[in-house]
Amino acid sequence: MSIEKVISADNQNVSISIEDRFDFSLHQKFRESYADCDTNGTVFTLNLDKTSYMDSSALGMILLLKDHADKISGKVIINKPNETVNKILEIAQFHRLLTIEL
């Protein structure tokens, strides 16, 4: 389980990748990964192509990220969730809240 973060040179794009399981144990690390990114209009891309499993507290964490992005007029994009993870996003109807790129 790990989180990797890449910030573009102009601070406009923040890419967060999550490996293996995305669950409550990442709570602290996940929050820390975006807390300092407060450039207006930042686009946060959440790469889930290496995420094997996600639980409901992960959905909560995504909502926290969205809340943070909304405050700085930014945006959250979820990128490449696998079938299992996408099913969870689908049941929660998260495509109505943010962009999901398959």
Partner 1 sequence: MNAMVENPDAKLALVIDDSAVNCKIMTTLLREEGYRVLSGNNGAVGVALYIEHLPDLVLMDIHMPVMDGYEAAKRIKSLSPNSLAPLIFITSLDTDEAFVEAIEAGGDGILTRPFSPEVFKAKIKSIQRISNLYTQVKTLQQEQQQDAELAEQIMSGVIEARNFALDRIGIKKQAAALFSGDIQLTALCPGGNVNVLLGDFTGHGLRSSIGAIPLSETFRVMTKKGFSLMEIIEQINRQLYELLPVDLFCCVCCVSISGHDRSAYVFNAGLPDTYVFNQEGKIKHKIESHHIPLGVMPNLLPQAQLQVYSVAEDDRVVLISDGILEARNDQGEMYGIQRFESAARQGFCHGDIPGKVFAAVNDFCQGRPQEDDISLIDIPCNGWQQALSGDDNAHNLAVSEMPDLHQDSEPSWHWQLSLTGQRLALVNPVPMAMGQIQEIEGNGEHWNNMYTILTELYVNALDHGVLRLNSELKNSAAGFAHYFMVRESRLKNLATGRIDISLSYHPLSSGGKMIITIVDDGQGFDLAAFYDHRLKNKHAGKDKVMLCGRGIELVHQLCEKLEYLERGNKVQATYVWAE
- Return residues touching partner 1 (CB under 8 A): 24, 55-57, 59-61, 63-64, 67, 90-94, 96-97
Q: Which residue blocks in the chain are alpha helix, DSSP H? A: 27-35, 56-71, 83-91
| Min CB(16)–partner 1 separation in Å | 16
Closer CB to partner 1, residue 37 or residue 62?
62
- For 35, 37, 69, 83, the CA distances from 65, given in Å and listed in that order, are 9, 11, 6, 22
| Min CB(37)–partner 1 separation in Å | 17
